Amino acid sequence: MPDRPTASLRATKLSLALTALILAALQNPALSADWGYDDMDGHATGPGGAIPTKIDKGPKSGKTAKAGRPTTVSRGAAETEGLKNDAKLASPAKNPAEPDETSLRQEEAQKPPSPAEIAARKKVENLKNWMEIYALAASSATEDDRNQVLDLATLTPDTRKKLEKITFEKLDQNVAQYTAVTPVWQSMRKKISEDIDYKESYRLLFRSLLRHALSRLEPTAPEAEAIQEVLGPARIAEIGPPVLTEDAINAYSDMTVFLYQKRHPDHTVEGDDNRQLFAEVIRQKYNDAPNPAAKKAMCNFDVTWASFRCRYLDAPPAEREKLIATIDGSAADKTSPAKNQTPARPNISLTSPKLLKIFALGPWAEDSKTSPLAVKMSQMSEPTK
């Protein structure tokens, strides 16, 4: 059995050896992992308990460290900072002169559009304007649906699709009667949305123009079918030829009611019975017309009356009186220089520069084999008496 001093001496030597190993590991932290030391929560752990690790990183950015006092930072934090620095070094340095993505987008937006872009925008705008005109023609005669017109809600989805396809093809072919619509339509669009009388007058005008455009189209043509869907079923009063429509008869009735109210402000002849009587008179006048040209003038009176309504709304008060005298024919009694001489007529036309531009647009003016509708309308016949 060994004596006690010898066992005590051995324990002392072992303790000294372990202490030497710990001190050696602390002097060389890079080798601590070889001895079972791991970084946990900013402390070196292992035999002998947790021992803080101190690394002097110098003064912090923006602050001055006290002289002679090293800043205590864990080894884990130091390694994390090192990884961040490595990532910065690995990322390519941004050239200050190189514009960022936002600047490039702003620069692109400020560039003037190319001719192709301008042409594409005009095509889209023209298409939108034509669709609003078709929507106006398809709108109600009795309800205030102006907002629905601008939303194209008065067109069925199927009709709208057909019209968009046909119109886009015309615009794509640069047909002049379709590409010139924007300045004409925009000049009246605001008034139509603000004034119900404007809306109704131009609704009648475009419906009458579309109706007469059908006369040059084959009934089975896609364009004719789409226009017929906008107008609805044709209402024929006299088979002709030429065909006298209910719309032409209604135009005569509307004119009669309008002129009577102007002559007699306190009275009206509006009413179903009176309108039926007017219709019978017009049918008889049509059947008694001396020649086909007179009949055709009666058949076209829906265009004449709608044009008058639009012209009247745009005219100043002094011109309105002359317009009434022109369509009424009563100017003869007021301007005749002598009983036996031909009565003088007011020097005013039922058309206007704006109306002539409208007559030169769209499917009603597209047929170049016949004289333009603008010329026909500038020679409008007087209403039948």
For residue range 193-203, what is the model confidence (pLDDT) as tens digits?
A: 999 999 999 99
Looking at residue 2, what is its pLDDT? 47
Asked whether the predicted pLDDT for residue 239 surpasses 60, the reply is yes
- Cα separation, 300 vs 215, in Å, equals 12
Nearest-angstrom CA–CA distance, 163 and 161: 6
pLDDT of residue 343: 46
Residue 54 confidence class, pLDDT cut points 50, 70, 90: very low
- Per-residue model confidence (pLDDT) at position 328: 79
Look at residue 32 and tell me whether its pLDDT is greater than 60.
no
Mean pLDDT of 7-24: 57
User: Is residue 313 situated within a structural domain?
Assistant: yes
User: Of 158, 238, 145, 152, whose CA–CA distance to 199 is shortest?
Assistant: 145
What pLDDT, on a 0 to 100 scale, did the predictor assign at position 116?
A: 87
Quick check: 113 and 153 in contact, CB under 8 A? Answer: no
What count of other Cβ atoms lies within 10 Å of the Cβ of residue 164? 18
Q: What is residue 20's predicted lDDT score, i.e. its pLDDT? A: 58
Predicted TM-score (pTM) of the model is 0.66
For the cut 50, the answer to whether the pLDDT of residue 165 exceeds it is yes
pLDDT score of 104: 67
Instruction: Yes or no: say if 324 and 262 are a contact pair by the CB < 8 Å rule.
Output: yes
In this predicted structure, which of 54-68, 104-118, 257-271 has the lowest mean pLDDT? 54-68
The answer to whether position 50 is within a domain reads no
At residue 286's C-alpha, the angle toward residues 312 and 254, to 5°, is 30
pLDDT at 230: 96
Instruction: Say how many domains are in the chain.
Output: 1
Question: pLDDT tens for residues 77-135?
Answer: 555 555 555 545 455 555 555 666 777 677 766 778 888 888 899 999 999 999 999 99
Omega of the bond prior to 113 within 30 degrees of 0, cis?
A: no
Three-state DSSP class for 65? Answer: coil
Structure confidence at residue 336 as a pLDDT band (50, 70, 90) = very low
Give the range of the structural domain holding residue 150, as residue numbers without chain letter. Answer: 115-234+300-378
Residue 72 reports pLDDT greater than 70 = no
- Give the helix/strand (H/E) hosting 51: strand 51-52
247's tokens: 């719309």
**Higher confidence at residue 384 or residue 360?**
360
Pairing between β-strand 43-45 and β-strand 244-245 as defined by DSSP bridges: unpaired
* 363 in a structural domain: yes
- How many other CB atoms are found less than 10 A from the CB of residue 21? 13
- Whether 333 maps to a domain, the answer reads yes
Q: Determine the pLDDT at residue 80.
A: 54
The DSSP result for 216-266, as a single string, is GS-TTSHHHHHHHHHH-S--EEE--SSPEEHHHHHHHHHHHHHHHHHH-TT
User: How confident is residue 269, by pLDDT bands cut at 50, 70 and 90?
Assistant: confident
Residue 323 lies in a domain: yes
241: in domain:
no
Q: What average pLDDT score do residues 249-257 get?
A: 91
Phi and psi angles of residue 77, each rounded to the nearest 5 degrees, phi first:
-65, -40
Percentage of the chain beyond pLDDT 90 is 41
Cα–Cα distance measured from residue 212 to residue 217, given in angstroms and rounded to the nearest whole number: 10
Taking residues 72-77, report their average pLDDT.
Answer: 52
Instruction: Band the pLDDT of 157: cuts 50, 70, 90.
Output: very high
- Strand order across the beta sheet in which 51-52 lies: 38-40, 43-45, 51-52
Q: How confident is the model at residue 152 (pLDDT cuts 50, 70, 90)?
A: very high
Q: Which pLDDT band holds residue 11 (cuts at 50, 70, 90)? A: low
Binning pLDDT at 50, 70 and 90, where does residue 327 land?
confident
**Pick from 199, 302, 189: which is nearest to 244 by CA?**
302
Please state whether beta strands 43-45 and 236-238 pair in parallel, antiparallel, or not at all (unpaired): unpaired
Name the average pLDDT for the chain.
75
Query: Is residue 142 situated within a structural domain?
Result: yes
Could you tell me if residue 346 is inside a domain?
yes
Q: How confident is the model at residue 270 (pLDDT cuts 50, 70, 90)?
A: confident
